A = this chain, B = another copy of it.
Amino acid sequence: MRLDILKQYQAQTKYLVALDSIIFGFDGEELKLLLVKRGIEQEHHTWSLMGGWMQPDESLESASSRILFELTNLTDIYLEQLHTFGSPERDPVERTVSVAYFALINVEDYDHKISKSYEAQWFSMQELPHLLFDHASMVEMAIQHLRYKASQHPIGFELLPEKFTIPQLQKLYEAIFGTDLDKRNFSRKLLSTNLLVKLDEKQKGYSKKGAYFYKINEEKYRKQFNTFLNFLPGNAS
């Protein structure tokens, strides 16, 4: 290593690097966001995104997974880097660059008993509390991204249980886009992708007739993921 290069590096200011997760869930009716009360601001009762610090041996991605695991005890969560926020004023305590990740989880899998150490709660997207720092803009960017992503890729499945019905899926898309969809057009378009496998089993309890369960064709799903365009049925904004 040349000495002048090392010196050039050493002359630079270093910064704290944080990760924040925008965690979406779906309860069958509404789109939800998982928020925590962090120790940091406990006395102010300020809700915030789940977050944490990057450790020296971690990549951004693995730090983000770790932090998510700490809260939910879940692994294999759909996680995608959203944007990095670094304005000098964003954290009044000390300058921090925060890399925001957006996560989709199945609410049923989330066991709130496990992580008692965090005071965590699902909030309807319609009734979000005041958020810490610039977390509200992170959420805003995340919902935009979710809309785009869900319209182009079959990402919605990540928010549902393994077995789901078409009406459930439609409700999810309606929640994401904040609009009503025509069920005939929706199911036609959906089934035409051949990503769904119809099961023999029917959903019980919710409706009298019961809707058939479907699961997703994993193989096709992985294969098509990046070439899957215009998924969103027509009559959404």
Contacts and interface: CB of A to CB of B under 8 A. Distances in A.
B93 A15 contact: no
A93 B13 contact: no
Contacts of A87: 59-60
Interface stretch (A22-30, A78-86, A173-181): A78-86
Given A15-B17, A60-B84, 18 more contacts: A8-B39, A9-B16, A12-B16, A13-B54, A14-B14, A14-B15, A14-B16, A15-B15, A15-B16, A17-B97, A56-B95, A58-B88, A60-B85, A60-B86, A60-B97, A81-B83, A81-B84, A86-B99
A12 B97 CA distance: 13
Contacts of A8: 39-40
A32 to B, nearest CB: 26
A55 B97 CA distance: 12
Contacts of A13: 53-56
A85 B99 CA distance: 10
A81 B81 CA distance: 12
Nearest to A227: B237
A103 B88 CA distance: 22
A143 to B, nearest CB: 14
Interface in A31-73: 39-40, 43, 53-60
A18 B59 CA distance: 15
A57 to B, nearest CB: 6
Contacts of A54: 13, 15, 86, 97
A132 to B, nearest CB: 12
Q: Which of A5, A56, A85 has the most CB of B within 10 A?
A: A5
A76 interface: no
B86 A59 contact: yes
A87 B57 CA distance: 9
A94 interface: yes
Contact of A84 (B2, B43, B84): B84
